[in-house]
Amino acid sequence: MSHSGYNEMLGGMFMAGGLNTEMARLSHRDVRQRRRAIRVLFDLDIPRALEAFVPLLDDNDSWFQSKSLEAHRKWAVESGIESLKPLVEHRWIDANRCAANLLSQFGTESEKYANILLEFDDPTCQRKAAASLLQDSENLELAQRLSENTDYQIRKLAYCSSSADKELRSRGINDSNNSVKEAVLRVIISNDEPISKQNIVSLIECGVDSSLLSKPAINLGGDVFLKLVDSCPSNKNLQFSKVLSEMCNDVDDEQIKNLIEAGQLSIVARWLRGRNDSKSDALLWQFMDDDRLPTIEKARLLERLIGRAGEPEINAHAVEFASRCQDTLLKVTAENLSTAADELKI
């Protein structure tokens, strides 16, 4: 027998008089009696006891008030949607918030009280009510109405809900709040919905999370991805190179060419690491003579070639480069590469 089944059986045995007695003790003048009754009723775990906890919402002792809220959280769902009525109608904001937090557990049954709480002048009540109304809903009119709310969290819920359509989401990425824009953008990308160049450029200018914009910008083509790169600090270069690795497979790709032409060699250099094809090799050695790429990035490219030291072309380039290189770090790194190649021959 399950724990709840056992408790119901025990409750049935106790209900003849004991349960009612303990419920009655919650209004006893002796505080010790009331505290004992609360412990017994919680241990017994019978949802019908909830009705005896409702008057405690008005108790002068905050401890008893908190136990009333705890009882509602414990038994409200099993007791039915009307168990929220005392919480919703109470003047105590904590009671209202308790009801708001329980709404989603009632599904569509919560609509009446959710609409009431949505009108409360309290962000928690409003947000929980909006989330409850939007859950598993296909109500575009509701989503449109909530998308005009002054609270950005409620607008976010509306734009990202299953009730929103493409047109509403396209409005969402032009919201005044970046958090809303980013949330909507995630949904749009997940749904594989198109994003216009104008929207992407606008999002770049607003400082939206660049990690969300990289793939749409590359897919769009042209100079949009370059605009994104130019707008971000250099510490985002690793992120950009990872996206390039996922989406660009050739040195002749438009985005690779744009980055090289614009002098964004560090991003391309990171993209080159681990690549193993003739065109990538040619670009790597071309970068060794390009002053726009920092020395440390060049050294890292050479270090990544150690695993290919046994390849004749790699060794020949390393020897040739070391023979004419004036930079100590690069010269030593290239010599180490050719030494590794010689050791493999032994």
Tell me what the mean pLDDT of segment 65-94 comes to.
97
Q: Which residues of 24-50 are buried (b: 16+ CB within 10 A; e: fewer)?
A: ebbeeeeeeebbebbebbbebbbbebb
Indicate whether 145 and 184 sit together in one domain: yes
| Contact assessment for residue 318 and residue 305, using Cβ atoms and an 8 Å cutoff | yes
Answer yes or no: is 116 within a domain: no
Q: Is 209 helix (H, G, I), strand (E, B) or coil?
A: coil
Vertex 298 angle, CA 292 and 304, to 5°: 150
The answer as to whether 17 is a domain residue is no
For 238-250, write each residue's pLDDT tens digit. 899 999 999 999 9
Domain match, 161 and 203 both: no
Q: Fill in the DSSP letter of residue 238.
A: H
pLDDT at 341: 62
How far is 130 from 150, CA to CA, in rounded Å? 13
76, part of any domain: no
C-alpha closest to that of 74 among 32, 45, 34: 45
Interhelix angle 18-25/31-44, rounded to 10 degrees, is 130
- pLDDT per position as a tens digit, 139-159: 999 999 999 999 999 999 999
The helix/strand/coil state of 233 is coil
The residues, ordered by sequence, that sit 6+ positions from 94 with a Cβ below 8 Å of its Cβ are 65, 69
Same domain, 231 and 283: no
Q: Are residues 277 and 333 in the same domain?
A: yes
304: nearest Cα among 329, 282, 336 = 336
Instruction: Report yes or no on 259 lying in a domain.
Output: no
What is the domain range of residue 247?
194-252
Residue 69 in any domain: the answer is no
Per the domain annotation, does 42 fall within a domain?
no
Answer yes or no: do 223 and 278 share one domain: no
- Looking at the fold, whether 172 and 237 belong to one and the same domain comes out as no
pLDDT in tens, 200-231: 999 999 999 998 999 999 988 889 999 999 99
**pLDDT tens per residue, range 12-24:** 544 545 788 888 8
H, E, C per residue of 101-142: HHHHHHHHHHHHHHHHHHCCCCHHHHHHHHHHHHCCCCCHHH
Same-domain pairing of 279 and 307: yes
Domain assignment present for residue 336? The answer is yes
Same domain, 232 and 291: no
CA distance 309 to 342: 8
Give pLDDT, residue 320: 94
Rounded Cα gap, residues 252 and 209, in angstroms: 28
pLDDT computed for residue 16 by the predictor: 45
Q: Looking at the 3D structure of the chain, how many domains does it have?
A: 3
180 pLDDT higher than 60: yes
Residues 325 and 285 in one domain: yes
Q: Could you tell me if residue 41 is inside a domain? A: no
